[in-house]
Amino acid sequence: MRSEQEIRHDAFELLRKNLGSFETEIFISSILRDQFDYTLWRDNLPKFKTVEELSKTAMEYRKKNSDGM
């Protein structure tokens, strides 16, 4: 079993690679500030079978809600 430190390190690296350093800091700050309950948040997310399905849904949402930018 991996240590908590190893898990935190890997999670931070995933966030940093996908969001960049600045947005990762904003994300972490918002979780700490809002007393974020990840388990509750995760339970309320739509269930996607694949990353492609999630990506398609996100692109459709962005296209539908675009303000012309």
Structure confidence by residue, pLDDT tens digits, 10-48: 999 999 999 999 999 998 888 888 777 778 877 877 787
The confidence score (pLDDT) of residue 61 equals 83
pTM, whole model, 2 decimals?
0.49
Give the CA distances from residue 5 to residues 1, 2, 8, 11, in Å, rounded to whole numbers and listed in that order: 12, 8, 5, 10
Q: How far apart are CA 2 and CA 9, in angstroms?
A: 11
Domain ranges of the chain: 4-64
Query: In a 3-state reduction of DSSP, which class is residue 3?
Result: coil
- Range with the lowest mean pLDDT among 5-9, 52-56, 63-67? 63-67
Residues 58, 37, 65, CA angle at the centre, nearest 5°? 20
Q: Please report which residue ranges of the chain form alpha helices under DSSP H.
A: 4-33, 38-43, 51-64
